[in-house]
Structure 1
């Protein structure tokens, strides 16, 4: 079988879709059944050694435009609200890659779009839909992004012969919202990188020292600071814990600054001044792995997830997890996490208090989490995805 990918998601800085694409390519490039593997960015085509070099980041790609503060950020935010922005970008990319796609279609390649909206393609098409949060919670997204997906996603779902969903929850959403036949949608769970694992205390000391926290002495949450992640309720729940517990287990919020978070920052401020909440922003990956493995508790009461990979990464790191009882998260944790109602500050607070006050329970959840995470591997994701390609190649 011969496979084609849109590689725009590999542009830095990588998003979750970019890492998904990378892990698929890493597995497929080793598969003997794959007779051809290629992709495009703009008018550039990547095959063979050039594709390997791109995956290993030996070939530079132009960064996606991203600013977090200052005048540039304000200009970018204004531009994102301009009517036609997403559509215009899609049209430009489609024109640039039209001849490349036509050539691969003639050569019998299966096109797998890993990032929601597929380009037009005359050959077999597979698309991965990671979630439908733009339909369930449009308030979490820029209006132009919602309008773009509402317009383009139905076309993609008609074009694709097979639709891959990250979870049964997302599959059910696709069937319910868009009326796609259930037989056309395949659930394939994501995997956890082997780098997420328990680490010995001595190997974590340097990373913990840079942040100023102790091993087993903090609550960790990792995500972009945005409304969907429910951080304001998490912080408000943390503020309801006894003062000595907050002092013993400060809350560490790791992630890039997002949007619609001015109220969150207001709630954080007094706790940060008291040394009970830390917001270090971006943390190098090497440090992040050690922080995962050193937390007393990983708290992720997100309001909506198509999969919720941070929960799986935390479980693989050997840490107890508190998460939501909604959307895909119970499917991912599979009974190995403490589940709470993410809309109830009291329930989140009660869960944290129970877990932080009961080391034996945390140890029990950590063991269960390691077993569950061992079932979620990228090798399994690639193997199940290859079965989809095989079906289309038959």
Structure 2
């Protein structure tokens, strides 16, 4: 079977969906089950080693510069190339499919925040997302979701008639996320980033739902008792959601803790791994998620996690994270303080987190996604 993959999320510095695509393709590079793949890129083909496999073909399908926009590429340029290449099935790993493709498509959807929380999206951007997602669910032969919660939301918003085409596939954890038993990570952070004091960590794009201002306020309260602690925030502000970074800077100034909070838009993988291995805990009080990769990667790194009671986070963590409920400044500060002061409590969540992380494997994820594609091909020989 010839499988097409919309691989543009691998371009540049992959985040989120790009990391999902990367890990799935890495597994297919090892075990393709006899299938061939064409990986389609929009602007550049990244120089990743696993793309050089003989069963992988990479294609750069540029749009003319005046219309070099992602949606036009997806809806106009890509379908033409799929038809020309006679692709059997297309995998669209980024929420939406080309609506007029001449081959069956499998779409991966991680959340539908654009549908359930429209107020958090710019008006036109949100309208386009909602329209494309609704039609993608309707036209795709398979819809792969990363949690039962997302599956339920799709059925509630787009119709129960789509239940037969939905498959829940948990995401995995890369092997590089593991505990540091020789304290090399601490040495790296001290020498490269200047982090030597105990620190709390947040990793993720600065969406409003991630509650970074609440983390800051809880951390400020904690520093009244533990003034030597730091807060490290790793994540950029999404371009279409302006204002979060400016609001965060203003809050730090107002709380008078600018010298205790370190901000990074992006860090190399080695530095991020070092942070995840050595933090007091990852603080992730998001109120809405599709899966929560930073949460499970921290668990695999031997670091406990403090979360909100958001359905996906409690589902995926499966009792292995400390839940701040109700989600208030006091409750979050209390949970963070427990991780700092009580080795028994922290150790218990480290143990539970490692156990949970062992059950999340990219090999299984990639195999399940490929099985879904094979099911579609079997129905459409």
Question: TM-score, normalization: structure 2?
Answer: 0.87
Between the aligned partners of 1:355 and 1:207, the Cα distance in structure 2 is 20
Between the aligned partners of 1:232 and 1:55, the Cα distance in structure 2 is 47
When residues 332 and 93 of structure 1 are mapped into structure 2, their CA distance, relative to the original with a 3 A threshold, is closer
When residues 174 and 349 of structure 1 are mapped into structure 2, their CA distance, relative to the original with a 3 A threshold, is same
2:192 aligned with 1:213: no
Greater alpha carbon shift after TM alignment, 359-368 vs 92-101: 92-101
When residues 388 and 346 of structure 1 are mapped into structure 2, their CA distance, relative to the original with a 3 A threshold, is same
Between the aligned partners of 2:314 and 2:112, the Cα distance in structure 1 is 17
Question: TM-score, normalization: structure 1?
Answer: 0.84
Aligned to 2:6: 6
From 171, 174, 184, give the equivalent of 1:190.
Answer: 171
2:309 aligned with 1:329: no
- Number of equivalenced pairs: 364
Please report how far the alpha carbon of residue 271 of structure 1 lies from its aligned counterpart in structure 2 after TM superposition. 5.3
Secondary structure at 1:351 match in 2: helix
Q: Provide Cα deviations, 1:280-328, integer angstroms capped at 9, x if missing partner.
A: 3322221111111011111110121100100001000001110111131
Greater alpha carbon shift after TM alignment, 198-207 vs 377-386: 198-207
2:147 aligned with 1:170: no
From 71, 78, 90, give the equivalent of 1:111.
Answer: 90
When residues 210 and 194 of structure 1 are mapped into structure 2, their CA distance, relative to the original with a 3 A threshold, is same
2:13 aligned with 1:33: no
Correspondence list, 1:77-226, <5 A: 89-104=70-85, 106=86, 109-119=88-98, 120-180=100-160, 181-199=162-180, 200-214=182-196, 217-226=198-207
Task: Provide the aligned C-alpha RMSD in A.
Answer: 3.0
Please report how far the alpha carbon of residue 390 of structure 1 lies from its aligned counterpart in structure 2 after TM superposition. 2.4
Please report how far the alpha carbon of residue 244 of structure 1 lies from its aligned counterpart in structure 2 after TM superposition. 3.0
For the 8 Å contact 1:196–1:314, the answer to whether it is kept is yes
Unmatched segments (≥5 aa) in structure 1: 63-84
Between the aligned partners of 2:311 and 2:61, the Cα distance in structure 1 is 35
For the 8 Å contact 2:291–2:313, the answer to whether it is kept is yes
For the 8 Å contact 1:163–1:186, the answer to whether it is kept is yes
From 222, 244, 250, give the equivalent of 2:230.
Answer: 250
Please report how far the alpha carbon of residue 331 of structure 1 lies from its aligned counterpart in structure 2 after TM superposition. 1.2
Secondary structure at 1:192 match in 2: coil
Q: Provide Cα deviations, 1:64-116, integer angstroms capped at 9, x if missing partner.
A: xxxxxxxxxxxxxxxxxxxxx99x64235433233311134x45x21111011
Unmatched segments (≥5 aa) in structure 2: none
Aligned to 1:314: 298
Secondary structure at 1:127 match in 2: strand
From 233, 240, 265, give the equivalent of 2:214.
Answer: 233
For the 8 Å contact 1:302–1:342, the answer to whether it is kept is no
Greater alpha carbon shift after TM alignment, 149-158 vs 314-323: 149-158
Between the aligned partners of 1:50 and 1:337, the Cα distance in structure 2 is 34
For the 8 Å contact 1:43–1:96, the answer to whether it is kept is no
Between the aligned partners of 2:333 and 2:185, the Cα distance in structure 1 is 31
